[in-house]
Structure 1
Amino acid sequence: MVFHKILLTNLTLLTLLSGCSWSSDIDHFDTKSILSTTHNKSAPVKVWSKTIGDGKPYTYSTLQPVASNNTIYAADQSGIVTALNVIDGKERWKVNLAEYISLFSNKNPALLSGGLTIHNNYLYVGTEHATVFALNIRDGSIVWKTHVLGEVLSCPVISDNLVLVHTSNGMLQGLNKFNGAVQWSIHLDVPAFSLRGQSSPVVSHGTVIVGGDNGNVSALTSNQGKIIWQQKITKKIGIRGINRLSDVDITPLIINGVVYAVAYNGNFTALDLQSGHILWNRNIGSVHAMVLYMNRIFVVDKEDRLMEINIKNGTYIWQQSHLLNRHLTPPVLYCNHLVVGDQQGYIHWINPDNGRLVLQKQVDSAGFQTQPVITNHNLLLILQSKNNQVHAILNE
């Protein structure tokens, strides 16, 4: 489970978290399932590795690389953004978005936190300092930067000439993608107690769908940011500690007019795109991105069970429970397998038809916490570790 995300509340509670009555409830999160024996029929090969920045680990960073054409773009939290040749990992360009506070001071780290997102000729990234940057993918030069209304903890989303940004204080803003000017803003509400993270929005036919920390899924008009409907999908299972969490931090999926969304404390819910009416819900909680493949949904739940869900009624098709409590990354489909990383730096190959564990290999002892990325033509698997090592893996 990915509980290494920070819990947000008021300043007083943050300073007292170590003494809270719920601290003993999370002891089991450190228990790691014993790795099962697999018979590796193929051997993944590390093609190259590249350190981004100083290689300093950032425990809570959710930055992930993106691939476009023959280039991998990656960043670290301090402010380094770089473009790498997909074949050999050699650097094509590098910029540092950290800034000097004064003439005689050291550079202030940019604290990059939301991204990366690539669209056409621009690369977008947000910061904990509430800034969104648009960079030219040819050389990394800054095209524009805009101050927004809160920390940017999720990937910016580009649609209808807008850059949609969901900030940690519950603001959803639409920025002009050409110059960064704020076109509209709306507050979606944030409870006093939540996970550190935000749902990236998804857009379908002019409707923006986004999850919120208050347990709501909201539908808004993309051109003006006006609310069309809101629907709560969480359930209250307690009044103390993690039982109070109601975050919907996963980017929803939209399939054939149906919205699929998951909350941390449940539920996995299907909603009608037009009205927000709940079609069905199931007791599955998660903070991991879902994967859609040929009308099949794959998700890792909060205890690190990987499963396939029937999109018609939400029932399990299969579950893989051999990786419990290994702090898995969201899955990705690569070479006809589901692939996840874990906090110990292993990558795991799973058969998507039956959930069988096929292959395991340790790649980086620092561990992984963000979703792997696939290059063009399904050639390479790209992973960024917690100490900002980018690895290119080829499954022979």
Structure 2
Amino acid sequence: MIATRFPHTLRLTLGAGVLALLAGCASKGEPLYTPKELTDIDATSSLDTRWDTGIGDGLGRARYPITPARDGARLFAADAEGLVVALNAKSGERNWEIDLESPVSSGLSAIDGQVYLGTRNGEVVALDQQDGSEQWRARVSSEVLAAPQANRELLIVQSTDGQITALDRQSGDARWTYKSSLPSLTLRGTGTPQTIDPVTFAGFANGRLVTLDNRTGQPLWQQQVAIPQGRSEVDRLVDLTGQPLLTQDGRLYVTSYNGRLLALEATRGKLMWERELSSRHTPLLVGDYLFVVADDSHVVALDAQSGDPLWQNDKLEGRWLTAPAFADGRIVVGDFEGYLHLLDARDGQLVGRTRVDRSGLSVTPVTEGGTIHVLANDGTLETLDVSP
């Protein structure tokens, strides 16, 4: 458990493991979801290692969500102590590495020749993709766990105190800020904003989704995705820790802890459909299939238009799965024991598995076609190819 002090209040944040233990207290000390043992599968897909390397000290004892990022032929990764590395995504050759001399805490974003990341000290750093040179460094209100998100002009940063800061992408100067109210107890982590040129969609630990005007930072509409219920503060956790998923035709999918999965009409927030489904992860859309990893580590596929269930796989229950990724017809998830699993996207059957590293996998795999990049908790970075 991590305690962070803010003016006039004390807010506690719970990591996933602590949350499981607390939730289990109401059931004779049993964990909320006992991890299922892995059983043999009829593997029809293979995972072949192309290259692997080490990225410093990895994600640290707190397992910061330092997800790598790929932009074209380059893959960017970092460790919790401030090492940032650029690699050739195909060969694993190191193009450059630098030491930020600041502890990294967020996932990476790579776009239009720059790499963006956040630190435990409440800094946001922009690096040049070509050589790693620092372009600018800006200060926000608190620690940054969510990967900064860019549109053409702005870099949108969500910090752990519930504040959204819009920075100028070229200079790092602050354009506007928006502050939400937070409950006294939250999950460790923050939602990742989704931004396009006109607006930003942001979810908060109070269960609310807010749409902000990118010209001013003023809210345009709000939606209560999850409503706190229950007697204990743990029962009343309703954090939106995933990223809202926006489609090209204007649909918005939002997950919540202890709450609902919503499909909204993005311009006004009109509800299209809803399902009772608790998830801390960002959903994945492939065609008309919407994939969600629930908090019990069931992998669920729904019809994106109607919300009707298509399939559900519970064979990885309790294994603390990562958010899902997609690679050449397969859903890709990692687990707490370091296994990488492949599920057939059409029917949910497990079709492949390999162990990357015993330290475990907690950040989302990065995929490009049939290639998977996965960073283990201890900093092992492995690139695998899916076949056939």
Contact 1:66–1:74 (Cα < 8 Å) also in 2: yes
Q: Partners of 1:302 and 1:74 in 2: how far apart?
A: 26
Contact 1:53–1:80 (Cα < 8 Å) also in 2: yes
Q: Partners of 1:204 and 1:12 in 2: how far apart?
A: 31
Q: Which of 65, 68, 72 in structure 1 is aligned with 2:71?
A: 68
Contact 1:58–1:77 (Cα < 8 Å) also in 2: no
Pairing 1:291-370 to 2, within 5 Å after superposition: 291-370=284-363
Q: Which of 245, 261, 284 in structure 1 is aligned with 2:254?
A: 261
Q: Which of 48, 58, 62 in structure 1 is aligned with 2:61?
A: 58
Contact 1:22–1:240 (Cα < 8 Å) also in 2: no
Q: Partners of 1:7 and 1:309 in 2: how far apart?
A: 37
1:139 and 2:142 matched = no
Deviations 1:352-377 (A, max 9, x none): 111111112112111100110113xx
Q: Partners of 1:78 and 1:164 in 2: how far apart?
A: 23
> What's 1:172 paired with?
164
| Structure 1 residue matching 2:234: 3-state secondary structure | helix
Identify which range, 227-236 or 36-45, moves more after superposition: 36-45
Q: Partners of 2:30 and 2:202 in 1: how far apart?
A: 31
1:24 and 2:17 matched = no
Deviations 1:177-233 (A, max 9, x none): 001000000102211111111111113461211111110010111121110011111
| Structure 1 residues 30 and 316, CA gap change in structure 2 (3 angstroms) | closer
In the TM superposition, what is the alpha-carbon distance from 1:266 to its structure 2 partner?
1.2
Contact 2:155–2:166 (Cα < 8 Å) also in 1: yes
| Structure 2 residue matching 1:318: 3-state secondary structure | strand
Q: Which of 373, 383, 386 in structure 1 is aligned with 2:377?
A: 386
In the TM superposition, what is the alpha-carbon distance from 1:303 to its structure 2 partner?
0.3
1:233 and 2:225 matched = yes
Q: Match of 1:382, as an amino acid?
A: H
> What's 1:79 paired with?
82
| Structure 1 residues 6 and 351, CA gap change in structure 2 (3 angstroms) | farther
Q: Match of 1:68, as an amino acid?
A: D
| Structure 1 residues 380 and 22, CA gap change in structure 2 (3 angstroms) | closer
Contact 1:7–1:193 (Cα < 8 Å) also in 2: no
Deviations 1:27-54 (A, max 9, x none): 4257211213212234311121111114
TM-score, reference length from structure 2: 0.91
What is the aligned residue count?
Answer: 377
Q: Partners of 1:27 and 1:150 in 2: how far apart?
A: 35
Q: Partners of 2:12 and 2:165 in 1: how far apart?
A: 28
Give the gaps of 5 or more residues in structure 2: none
Pairing 1:134-283 to 2, within 5 Å after superposition: 134-204=126-196, 206-255=198-247, 256-283=249-276
In the TM superposition, what is the alpha-carbon distance from 1:336 to its structure 2 partner?
1.1
Q: Partners of 2:257 and 2:358 in 1: how far apart?
A: 28
In the TM superposition, what is the alpha-carbon distance from 1:121 to its structure 2 partner?
1.0
Contact 2:13–2:185 (Cα < 8 Å) also in 1: no
| Structure 2 residue matching 1:242: 3-state secondary structure | coil
> What's 1:97 paired with?
100
Q: Match of 2:165, as an amino acid?
A: Q
Contact 1:268–1:314 (Cα < 8 Å) also in 2: no
CA root-mean-square deviation: 2.3
Contact 2:83–2:97 (Cα < 8 Å) also in 1: yes
Pairing 1:35-54 to 2, within 5 Å after superposition: 35-54=38-57
| Structure 1 residues 252 and 379, CA gap change in structure 2 (3 angstroms) | same
Deviations 1:95-150 (A, max 9, x none): 0011xxxxxxxxxxx22111200111110000110000000111111100001111
Contact 2:203–2:244 (Cα < 8 Å) also in 1: yes
| Structure 2 residue matching 1:28: 3-state secondary structure | coil
Identify which range, 230-239 or 258-267, moves more after superposition: 230-239
> What's 1:103 paired with?
none
Q: Partners of 2:303 and 2:34 in 1: how far apart?
A: 30
> What's 2:91 paired with?
88
Contact 1:7–1:194 (Cα < 8 Å) also in 2: no
Q: Partners of 1:7 and 1:354 in 2: how far apart?
A: 43
| Structure 1 residues 322 and 160, CA gap change in structure 2 (3 angstroms) | same
Q: Match of 2:120, as an amino acid?
A: E
Contact 1:6–1:60 (Cα < 8 Å) also in 2: no
Q: Partners of 2:46 and 2:227 in 1: how far apart?
A: 44
Contact 2:158–2:190 (Cα < 8 Å) also in 1: yes
Give the gaps of 5 or more residues in structure 1: 99-109
Q: Partners of 2:31 and 2:233 in 1: how far apart?
A: 15
Runs in 1 of length 4+ with deviation above 4 angstroms?
Answer: 5-15, 20-23
In the TM superposition, what is the alpha-carbon distance from 1:335 to its structure 2 partner?
1.8
TM-score, reference length from structure 1: 0.89
Contact 1:235–1:267 (Cα < 8 Å) also in 2: no
Deviations 1:249-275 (A, max 9, x none): 111112322221111011111222222
| Structure 1 residue matching 2:31: 3-state secondary structure | helix
Q: Match of 1:41, as an amino acid?
A: T
Contact 2:360–2:377 (Cα < 8 Å) also in 1: yes
Contact 1:157–1:163 (Cα < 8 Å) also in 2: yes
Contact 1:174–1:182 (Cα < 8 Å) also in 2: yes
